[in-house]
Amino acid sequence: MIFTVAIDGPAAAGKGTISREVAARFGFAHLDTGLLYRAVGVLGGDPAQAARTLRPEDLTRADLRSLEAGQAASRVAAIPEVRAALVDFQRRFARRPGGAVLDGRDIGTVICPEAEAKLYVTASPQVRAHRRWCEVGGDEANVLAEVQERDARDMGRANAPLRPAQDAVILDTSAMTIDEAVARAVAVIAARRGEHPYA
Ligand code: CDP
């Protein structure tokens, strides 16, 4: 069985949590594609070369979740050669037997336009910044500025900009608990699979 769930959206929208829960619920593999760009960003050197030679252990580094790694990721993510080097790996993952959930910025638009289910998860910048601040601490205004700067760069780049796919279901989680957001996502995917969500 091949079934791809594409989950895109802006920084700290809750894509990661929703993706993990959805993958567990349906028994799908999960790939957080942001980690690929974060790893390329923190590795330094020539970003295109780093993307071409990325190793599995690069994705388990402890420093990938920092605000600095997020900034570095969004800078290297605007380089067409970096994106091109990561396409095949993501597409193979998406079409692996047994089903896959990929979360990122361009999964439903560029990596897997044929994905069976597409979600665009978003929330207001203030809500997203607050959620990220709960994870990383520090100055909340600083976290908001980081989130907004990254969104502007991700949406404004020429190559694979962040935007909802035409056939994506938009999930605005500003006023939802994580459980509500997960339940909505599960319902969308179950419907695409012709299942009852709580079967
Ligand atoms: O967790 P958060 O939403 O803050 O970020 P992430 O998903 O880890 O992505 C970090 C950065 O990588 C983003 O700001 C994008 O610039 C880039 N990225 C991308 O361009 N394409 C993807 N499919 C995933 C991430």
What's the CATH number for 4-192? 3.40.50.300
The residue nearest atom 4 of ligand 1, judged by CA position, is 11
pTM for the model:
0.96
- Asked if 103 contacts 19 with a C-beta cutoff of 8 angstroms, the reply is yes
- Which residues does residue 102 pair with via DSSP β-bridges, in sequence order? 6, 31
Task: Could you list the beta-strand ranges (E) of 43-99.
Answer: none
pLDDT score recorded for residue 18: 97
CA of 174 to the centre of ligand 1 (A): 19
pLDDT along the chain (199 residues), means of 10: 97 95 97 98 97 96 94 97 98 98 98 98 97 93 95 96 98 95 97 80
Cα 110 to Cα 31, 88, 100, 107, 126: the distances in Å are: 16, 12, 16, 6, 28
The preferred substitution site among 35, 154, 159 for testing ligand 1, maximizing ligand atoms within 8 Å of CB, is 154
pLDDT score recorded for residue 192: 94
- Which residues does residue 173 pair with via DSSP β-bridges, in sequence order? none
Reported as type and span, the H/E element at residue 38 is helix 34-43
pLDDT score recorded for residue 197: 66
pLDDT score recorded for residue 196: 75
Could you state, in order of their start, the residue ranges of all structural domains in the chain?
4-192
The residue nearest atom 21 of ligand 1, judged by CA position, is 105
The residue nearest atom 2 of ligand 1, judged by CA position, is 11
The residue nearest atom 1 of ligand 1, judged by CA position, is 12
End-to-end CA distance of the chain: 19
Q: Is 34 in the pocket of ligand 1 (CB under 6 A)?
A: yes
Whole-number Å distance between alpha carbons of 66 and 68: 5
The residue nearest atom 15 of ligand 1, judged by CA position, is 74
Token pair for 105:
């910025």
Q: Which atom of ligand 1 is nearest to the CA of 75?
A: 16
Cα 124 to Cα 84, 94, 144, 170, 188: the distances in Å are: 30, 29, 11, 13, 22
CA of 193 to the centre of ligand 1 (A): 27
